[in-house]
Structure 1
Amino acid sequence: MKLNIVKHRKGWYIVSAVLMAVSLLALIGFGLKPGIDFTGGALLEVAIESKPSHGQLQETLAASGHKEAIVQVSNDSVLVRTVPLTEEQHQNILASFEKAFGKTTELKFDSIGPVIGNELRRTAFLAIFASLVLIGAYISWAFRGAGDFISSKKIALLTVIKTVHDVFISVGAYAILGYFFGYEMDTAFVAATLTILGYSINDGVVVLDRTRENLKKRISSHLSEVVDVSIEQTLARSINTSVTVFLALLAVFLFGGETTRPFAMLLLIGVAVGTYSSVFIASPALVTLEKWGKK
């Protein structure tokens, strides 16, 4: 069955434009909630035998002077995120838990100053920017001699645009989830973003590389037909790979615990968006770029 994805590319562009607009509005309206990795603060993880509820924990923290604390409860432990704590405040929280709920075991305590947080923020954005530049340069080199239809520089530009598209929509969706579920931007967020970046490129290059091979074989004199054939030839591979990765991430999201849930969710969104853009955006955009180049 012929899919004619290139023929209907304007419709897919509209879908992407709507998703990007929603992501932009989410980032402007909700923003990303910085975690203590970026703002500075304290992270305390404890195990409490009596298994208190989220509300009980929040009330106990408020009574001890920490209304701002964010509590996450999992089956085995309780995570408390607060502003930077002195050692005395740290011990007071543990004592208040012990008094209110009984035996409390401290599992982890990390404190990060705001100076370190600012440095992490700069490093994170620099890492993402440097990755995009290096990837664009490598794709341009790897796709040299792609044929007479389109230059390697256009393919590199398209790959970078696709990657920004995928990351932007994923981060916008994460901002919405952060507003409703309290997901934070921390080092795990940066790791997930870089992973999405790599996955997006890998998935997109598969289709583009097949397009390059078909261009060299000159299976058609029309670029649109070559791209359609290339998409059909790689579609099963793209879907199988994405479903396998998606199921593995879904297992992490469902059973990995509270701390890994935001990380897994961002990757789930990124895999879905990356697969969609590889098939419906990146390859058809080759045709659009070529048409623009001839005007």
Structure 2
Amino acid sequence: MEIISQRKNKIWFAISLAIIIVGIVSWSIWGLRLGIDFKGGTLLELSFKNQVESNKVAQELDNIDFTKNNYTLQKTGDRSFLIRTIPLDKDQVNLLESTLSTKVGENQPLRLETVGPTISNNLKNKAIWALTLASLAIILYIAYAFRSVPKPANSWRFGVCAVIALLHDLLVSVGIYSLLGHVYGFEVNALFITALLTVMGFSVHDTIVVFDRIRENLKRYPSKDFITVANESVLQTLARSLNTSLTLIIVLLTMLLLGGSTITSFIAALLVGVTIGTYSSIFTATPLLVVWQNRSNKKVNNS
């Protein structure tokens, strides 16, 4: 069975490129729905005693000075609504709750979060630094861990290819999440960054399993060419990678279907990331390594 070859590598790269383009188009058209963690504001989820219409809640929000034209309303259940608005103080929140209780119906708060603009900017910077430092640490770790890889293979190539596959996963995850945000209202918040970091760890772990088998087979079969060793290594680890990923995906699907609305977007981000990470560890990272190694070999032969 041939998974890694010059012809099939082009197919895998084309599939990856197509998925990335879909994500970029979605991102450029709809952007990302930033949550209050990164935008600042107040998030209030209310549960009403009886069923009420969304337009009735919206009508009363329009009549309140500090929420008029400054809110979004999302229905989260049969009798519950999520209100996002500008940062409100305690008195304003109390007034909002009492007004809706009087004019719409008796209710009780399920969730209340308020983040100021200064804190949201700080969280943005920390999120960017977290992703950047994690990527650099991964390159250094893999380069060190694979330092004993037989020549002419280079340990740095293993690290860089793993991170390129990782960036592929992040691009696709963000792009698809942008689409989910447009369709289902999912927001980018601290949980989303947590999901991305988790996906990074899972994706790199899967990639290292394949790369480690390539290293072992290079030592075991020094006479074989690199692309043959890479293909055999992928085949040897394919069942393990798929079984591990499918087990996790089943758990995530169960949580997505049975979990509460507060973790739905987080689980969805994990589900997308794990699926893409499984694909990239087999069909992106290894083909990249093969292409890079083949070009390096050609340069050596030509010189």
Interval containing the TM-score (normalised by the shorter chain): over 0.9
Does residue 19 (structure 1) correspond to residue 19 (structure 2)? The answer is yes
**TM-score, normalising length from structure 2?**
0.91
Q: How does 1:1-295 map to 2 (within 5 A)?
A: 2-7=1-6, 8-65=8-65, 66=67, 67=69, 68-74=71-77, 77-218=80-221, 220-294=223-297, 295=299
Q: Amino acid of the residue matched to residue 111 of structure 1?
A: T
Q: Amino acid of the residue matched to residue 191 of structure 2?
A: A
SS of 2:284's equivalent in the other structure is helix
Q: Amino acid of the residue matched to residue 114 of structure 1?
A: P
SS of 2:168's equivalent in the other structure is helix
* CA displacement at 1:286 relative to structure 2: 1.6
Q: Amino acid of the residue matched to residue 5 of structure 2?
A: V
Indicate if the aligned counterparts of 2:73 and 2:81 stay in contact, CA closer than 8 A.
no
Among all aligned residue pairs of Structure 1 and Structure 2, give the percentage whose two residues are the same amino acid.
35
Residues 75 and 243 (structure 1 numbering): CA distance in 2 closer, same or farther, change over 3 Å? Answer: farther
Residues 155 and 63 (structure 1 numbering): CA distance in 2 closer, same or farther, change over 3 Å? Answer: same
Indicate if the aligned counterparts of 1:50 and 1:101 stay in contact, CA closer than 8 A.
no
Between the aligned partners of 1:258 and 1:59, the Cα distance in structure 2 is: 25
* CA displacement at 1:96 relative to structure 2: 2.5
* CA displacement at 1:78 relative to structure 2: 3.5
Between the aligned partners of 1:55 and 1:224, the Cα distance in structure 2 is: 62
Greater Cα shift, 168-177 or 44-53? 44-53
SS of 1:111's equivalent in the other structure is strand
| Root-mean-square deviation (Å) | 1.8
* CA displacement at 1:263 relative to structure 2: 1.1
Q: Amino acid of the residue matched to residue 5 of structure 1?
A: I
Residues 148 and 45 (structure 1 numbering): CA distance in 2 closer, same or farther, change over 3 Å? Answer: same
Greater Cα shift, 255-264 or 169-178? 255-264
Q: Amino acid of the residue matched to residue 241 of structure 1?
A: T
Between the aligned partners of 1:50 and 1:251, the Cα distance in structure 2 is: 29
SS of 1:259's equivalent in the other structure is helix
Residues 76 and 131 (structure 1 numbering): CA distance in 2 closer, same or farther, change over 3 Å? Answer: farther
Between the aligned partners of 2:63 and 2:93, the Cα distance in structure 1 is: 14
* CA displacement at 1:99 relative to structure 2: 1.8
Q: Report how many residues are paired.
A: 294
Indicate if the aligned counterparts of 1:132 and 1:160 stay in contact, CA closer than 8 A.
yes
SS of 2:52's equivalent in the other structure is coil
Indicate if the aligned counterparts of 1:47 and 1:105 stay in contact, CA closer than 8 A.
yes
Residues 101 and 50 (structure 1 numbering): CA distance in 2 closer, same or farther, change over 3 Å? Answer: farther
**TM-score, normalising length from structure 1?**
0.93
* CA displacement at 1:101 relative to structure 2: 4.2
Greater Cα shift, 82-91 or 111-120? 82-91
* CA displacement at 1:124 relative to structure 2: 0.5
SS of 2:82's equivalent in the other structure is strand
Residues 138 and 239 (structure 1 numbering): CA distance in 2 closer, same or farther, change over 3 Å? Answer: same
Between the aligned partners of 2:251 and 2:54, the Cα distance in structure 1 is: 29
Residues 155 and 49 (structure 1 numbering): CA distance in 2 closer, same or farther, change over 3 Å? Answer: same
Name structure 2 gaps, 5 residues minimum.
none
Q: Amino acid of the residue matched to residue 171 of structure 1?
A: V
Name structure 1 gaps, 5 residues minimum.
none
Between the aligned partners of 2:178 and 2:89, the Cα distance in structure 1 is: 31
Deviations 1:69-109 (A, max 9, x none): 33241368543221111333212221122124433122332
Between the aligned partners of 2:55 and 2:253, the Cα distance in structure 1 is: 28
Indicate if the aligned counterparts of 2:4 and 2:227 stay in contact, CA closer than 8 A.
no
